[in-house]
Structure 1
Amino acid sequence: MSRIQRCFKSLESAGFFRSHDDNILELLCHGKEYAKLLQQHWLRLRPLAAHLDDSIQTISPSNLHRFSFPESQQFGNNFQKLIKDHPRKAKCPTLIKHQSLSSSPKVNPLFGVKSPATLLTTDFLVEPHRALEHFYNMQRESKIWWMRLSSNPSRYRIVPCDLGEEYNPKNYQAIDIKSSYGEAGDVTVEELSLVRIVEDNGYRLSDARTGEFIQPTVIRSVIELETATCALLLDGCDHGRDAQSLLLHRVLAPYQCGIACVEGESELSGDLADLCLHLKHVIHLAGLRLREGTGFASAKNTSQLKDHLLESDMLGVPYTLVLNEQTLKNGLMQLRSRDTRLAETIHISDVPDYLLNIFKN
């Protein structure tokens, strides 16, 4: 069994996705939670954009070339929404963000995703004479964004697309950002396309510098959410370490913290459970995401604790608080890291500020 196949099985057994016979992946509970957090992270990217998210339409992108979107009804409607709903942002350059559903998701060499797929689209309307400058900047910004989310930043690369003889490079450009998994193949996580609108079809905005009305060039970024989610999950599993774990970005991990208590044979197990419930409440109030269910696990011995921590590692939980009966006496507990598998001692009074500082930085 190849390394990538083992990753697929690990992610499937952990409840992130289900693989069908035709190598089509369907996100399950943990995978859907991760996709939701990735979507929220995308919404925060380029915060000055106008968000056009009143209604999410289903489209069939297979019927459209990647350069033909300015001719679509969806683009025309979004342009009118920009002018009507966001008049202060209706200047060039400006950004439009919108979401839609694709009835025919793209199939990558490693996998496809179940239909419909969510498309996260950013349209950057820029001055024609600065279009290539903006295009190269957007490539660099997008690649850095993916690298920051990855456990292995070196796997991301920018791949130019063959335009064909019918497209003038002055008016059209296209690149894909791909995530490489060695001999297993690549996955396209983002498509960037530049289209200069030549015909006068009413798409005019005032230049933010000169005030002159111009017909902008459009740089479009498209991310297929479910495909990107599966690619990042695979990236977090395919880290080459001996230890079994899912190295998800701390901010995007579905569950950021876990709580485990080692009860032993002590009569204080009830008090330990109460303390765990208190910590669960404190962490929830701080806005950190705890593991599902009760939010904490009880172990009778170190062997059970080890099994629980292994399960947490496969769910990508970055940190676990480990309590025992000594915690009831001196307030000290262990904060165990998923990435290093090492633990440091902290005091109960440092929770949650200590954790919040970790995730903030």
Structure 2
Amino acid sequence: MSGGKDQLRKVLALCKYHGIFQQANQLTSSIVTGCYDYGPLGSDIKRNIENEWWQSVVTAKEYMFGVECASLHGTRPGSIHQVKVAPLQSDNSEPNTPHENSFVQSSFSNSLCRHYPQTLQLVNKKLPFGIANVGRCYQTVDSTDSSKIIYRMPEFTEMSVNFFTPPKESSQWLYSWQKERLQWWRKFSGTPSLFSVSVQEDAKAADIMFQFPWGVEVIERIANRGSKILEDIYKDTKKNIQGKFKKRFVTPNIIEIVAGLDAGVFAYLVEAVQQKQIKDSNGKTISRKILRLHRRLAPIKVAVVPSKPDREIKELAEYLSKEFCQAGIKVFHIGETPISLDKEFFRFDEMGIPFIVVIDKETLKTGVTEIRNRDTTLKQQVHITGVKDIIQKHLNAY
């Protein structure tokens, strides 16, 4: 447990120093506690994880469709999981009349189901298919427990899927999704064994778990919710809910997949922060921190550094940086020559930047530059015309 606390302190110290996330409203007095803002690096990490999830769950599958569900709903209490919100103040400073039926959602599960009848028509009533959504949800949390940081917040981002499958194939699809989702989390992990799966006794639900410093927690849940929600929709709307499977029409079961994006961000940060013993350019062994995020999740992919205060070197570094930007590769361009390259390398390692390109006098003479790898600290000599393609090749590989 002490080792877990030490790791948590390292993670929080690095995140605070580089502004990856910070407590919201910390500069002003507020009754809201437990909420966190993401800084420039943190927001990119979060967005990268979300994009990878969307690519895996929606874009890469022909039977999956994305929707956007509103967080605010005017629906009767009890119909979905809800939290009541206060009325907003109008521009004319006159208090608005409270809307007794205004609620914010703590989960999008039921809202996704309300897109089912229209999507059923879209696919010509053919099963199976699924609907996905990423959105902000709200929940009540214990404000006195601050140990779990962004794992559990009053305001959080939920990534959710409702997959509609014929009842006879629901068990098969449940296992298939369970296996796929565990592989997805492990794919971006430097320590895949920290992710595990826990199947409930009735085999109708499974949890993807992660070993946080304080213990094992759920970061994603896959469950067979049956057909009751769809049957309730039919009672309310009289819209057809039966889909075609082979030569029959059946009411599908719902495989529900719900993941907390913020919990996923913190899980990857926890395992990525490492302490390494390395040798600097003078051969001296030093201890350094490194944010060893997967290349696909790293907030900045490459840094371009001019080694000398030379006009031509700076111009070449600027040109290469623009080339990365045009290729859609997030780049960190240092306009001024750093006092110490080693210190700059270590700073970039803490920021999670996988590759550093150094432009020096030799580059002007021969066109050869160096690409430094964050994880190995090894340097590869490459002609400047091939730098972008090599970095792109590394980023495209999982």
* TM-score, structure 1 as length reference: 0.83
In the alignment, which residue of structure 1 is the partner of 2:190? 151
In the alignment, which residue of structure 2 is the partner of 1:91? 126
In the alignment, which residue of structure 2 is the partner of 1:255? 300
For 1:129 and 1:187, locate their aligned partners in 2 and report how far apart those are by CA, in whole Å: 31
For 1:97, the aligned partner's letter is A
For 1:234 and 1:93, locate their aligned partners in 2 and report how far apart those are by CA, in whole Å: 37
For 1:80, the aligned partner's letter is P
User: Shift of the alpha carbon at 1:14?
Assistant: 1.5
In the alignment, which residue of structure 1 is the partner of 2:22? 18
Kept in 2, the 8 Å contact 1:127–1:214? The answer is yes
After superposition, the CA RMSD in angstroms is 2.7
Cα 1:23–1:100, aligned 2, differ >3 Å: closer, same or farther?
closer
Residue 118 of structure 2 corresponds to residue 81 of structure 1: yes
Kept in 2, the 8 Å contact 1:50–1:89? The answer is no
Unaligned regions of 5+ residues in structure 2, if any?
A: 27-32, 74-79, 84-106, 235-239, 278-287
Cα 1:101–1:181, aligned 2, differ >3 Å: closer, same or farther?
closer
In the alignment, which residue of structure 2 is the partner of 1:173? 204
In the alignment, which residue of structure 2 is the partner of 1:166? none
For 1:344 and 1:7, locate their aligned partners in 2 and report how far apart those are by CA, in whole Å: 30
User: Shift of the alpha carbon at 1:236?
Assistant: 1.2
User: Shift of the alpha carbon at 1:69?
Assistant: 7.9
In the alignment, which residue of structure 2 is the partner of 1:222? 258
1:191 to 221, 238, 245: 221
SS at match of 2:123: helix
Kept in 2, the 8 Å contact 1:30–1:254? The answer is yes
1:296 to 334, 356, 366: 334
Cα 1:76–1:354, aligned 2, differ >3 Å: closer, same or farther?
closer
SS at match of 2:391: helix
Cα 1:186–1:122, aligned 2, differ >3 Å: closer, same or farther?
same
For 1:143 and 1:55, locate their aligned partners in 2 and report how far apart those are by CA, in whole Å: 26
SS at match of 2:328: coil
Kept in 1, the 8 Å contact 2:199–2:205? The answer is yes
For 1:323 and 1:2, locate their aligned partners in 2 and report how far apart those are by CA, in whole Å: 38
Between the two proteins, the alignment pairs up a number of residues equal to 333
Cα 1:38–1:90, aligned 2, differ >3 Å: closer, same or farther?
farther
Residue 354 of structure 2 corresponds to residue 350 of structure 1: no
For 1:3, the aligned partner's letter is Q
Moved more, 199-208 or 75-84: 199-208
2:135 to 63, 83, 100: 100
User: Shift of the alpha carbon at 1:77?
Assistant: 1.9
In the alignment, which residue of structure 1 is the partner of 2:318? 277
Cα 1:300–1:233, aligned 2, differ >3 Å: closer, same or farther?
closer
Structure 1, residues 238-292: CA drift from partner, whole Å, max 9, x if none?
x46444111111112111111112116xxxx11111000110111112221112x
| Identity across the alignment (%) | 18
1:311 to 315, 338, 347: 347
User: Shift of the alpha carbon at 1:187?
Assistant: 3.4
Residue 249 of structure 2 corresponds to residue 213 of structure 1: yes
In the alignment, which residue of structure 2 is the partner of 1:36? 47
Kept in 2, the 8 Å contact 1:93–1:126? The answer is yes
Cα 1:45–1:338, aligned 2, differ >3 Å: closer, same or farther?
same
For 2:205, the aligned partner's letter is A
Cα 1:300–1:111, aligned 2, differ >3 Å: closer, same or farther?
closer
User: Shift of the alpha carbon at 1:106?
Assistant: 6.7
Cα 1:76–1:94, aligned 2, differ >3 Å: closer, same or farther?
closer
For 2:175 and 2:380, locate their aligned partners in 1 and report how far apart those are by CA, in whole Å: 44
In the alignment, which residue of structure 1 is the partner of 2:94? none
Unaligned regions of 5+ residues in structure 1, if any?
A: 163-168
Output aligned runs, 1:136-147, within 5 Å: 136-147=175-186
For 2:124 and 2:354, locate their aligned partners in 1 and report how far apart those are by CA, in whole Å: 39
For 1:248, the aligned partner's letter is L
